[in-house]
Amino acid sequence: MNRKGVLHGIGVGPGDPELLTLKAVRLLKAAPVVAFFVARGKKGNAFGIVEAHLEAQQERMPLVYPVTTEALEPPLSYEAIIADFYDGAAEMVSRHLDAGRDVAVICEGDPFFYGSYMYLHDRLAARYEAQVVPGVCSMLGGTAVLGVPLVYRNQSLAVLSGVLPEDELRRRLADADAAVIMKLGRNFEKVRRVLGELGLAHRAHYVERATMSNQRIVPLDEVDPMASPYFSLLVVPGVKWQS
C-alpha cells in the first residue's frame, strides 16, 4: 500500500523570521507542499515569514479565506461559509497526503493557539499522521518586545478574546491576576472602556504587530480605535513580585 503523506502544522512565530525554530525550518525545507491561510489579495503573513527558506520546486498552496471580517447579509452566515471553506481546504490537503506527499501547513505564532491550522487538524488528524511544531505565540512575542514580565510566582494568567461581550470581559478581567487580550481590532474601544472602569488602564500595555518590522507600541490613550489593526494585543501583567 502507498505511504500516506504526513500533515505538519508548523508554528512560524509572531513575525520576526529569526523566531522560527530550527525544527520548523528543517521541516519546511523538506516539505514538497507548503500550505498557508491567506486573505484574498494578500500575500500572507505566515508565508512572508518563511518565504526565504523555500525552494522554487516546493508547491505553494494558498488557502484563500472566502470571507474575513466583512458584514454578511442574511441568509449568508459566517459560520456556514467558513465551515465549508475548511472542509474544502482539508480536501485539497488530503489529496496531497493520499498521494504520499507531506504537507506543511504554516501558521502565525503557534498552530494550537487560535491558529487556523486547528480546523485542518480537527478534520484530518484521525486519518493521517499529524505532527505539530510549536511556535512562539504572539502573546509572548508581545510581552518580550514590551519588556514586561507577565506572571510572577503563583499568579494565574487569563487569555481573553476582545470579541467577548462587554459584561463577560469585565467579569473575567476583574478576576484575573494577569491578562492578555487578543483579537482587538474593532473591539479595541470596548476593551479600553472596560479596563478604564476596572482601574486597570494604567497597568495595560498595547502592542501592534509585535516583532514585525512595522511593530508599534502605543500608550493606551493614544491608540486610534478606528485604526487598531488585527495584529494587536493588550497585556495586563501581574503585579510585580518583589523577591
Ligand X SMILES: C[S@@+](CC[C@H](N)C(=O)[O-])C[C@H]1O[C@@H](n2cnc3c(N)ncnc32)[C@H](O)[C@@H]1O
Binding site for ligand X (CB under 6 A): 14-15, 107-110, 113-115, 137-138, 141-142, 182-184, 207, 209-212, 230-233
Rounded to a whole number of angstroms, the minimum distance from the CB of residue 116 to ligand X is 7
Rounded to a whole number of angstroms, the minimum distance from the CB of residue 4 to ligand X is 26
Q: Is residue 129 within 8 Å of residue 94, measured between CB atoms?
A: no
Residue nearer to ligand X on the CB measure, 97 or 235: 235
Residue nearer to ligand X on the CB measure, 101 or 193: 193
Rounded to a whole number of angstroms, the minimum distance from the CB of residue 15 to ligand X is 4
C-alpha cell at position 19: 523566531
Rg (CA), the chain: 19
Rounded to a whole number of angstroms, the minimum distance from the CB of residue 18 to ligand X is 14
Residue nearer to ligand X on the CB measure, 5 or 14: 14
Rounded to a whole number of angstroms, the minimum distance from the CB of residue 225 to ligand X is 15
Query: Nearest-CB residue to ligand X?
Result: 109
Rounded to a whole number of angstroms, the minimum distance from the CB of residue 142 to ligand X is 5
Residue nearer to ligand X on the CB measure, 112 or 152: 112
Q: Is residue 127 within 8 Å of residue 150, measured between CB atoms?
A: no
Residue nearer to ligand X on the CB measure, 124 or 210: 210
CA distance 203 to 240: 11
Q: Which of 224, 189, 185, 219 is CA-nearest to residue 202?
A: 219
- Using the Cα atoms of residue 199, residue 202, residue 208 and residue 210 in order, give the sign of their dihedral: negative
Parallel, antiparallel or unpaired: strands 205-208 and 232-236: antiparallel
Residue nearer to ligand X on the CB measure, 7 or 233: 233
Residue 98's contacts (CB-CB under 8 Å, 6 or more residues apart) are 2, 4, 5
Burial of 95-107, coded b for 16+ CB within 10 Å and e otherwise, reads ebbeeebbbbbbb
C-alpha cell at position 161: 478574546
Q: Is residue 218 within 8 Å of residue 196, measured between CB atoms?
A: no
Residue nearer to ligand X on the CB measure, 94 or 232: 232
First-to-last alpha carbon distance for the chain, in angstroms, is 61
Rounded to a whole number of angstroms, the minimum distance from the CB of residue 40 to ligand X is 17
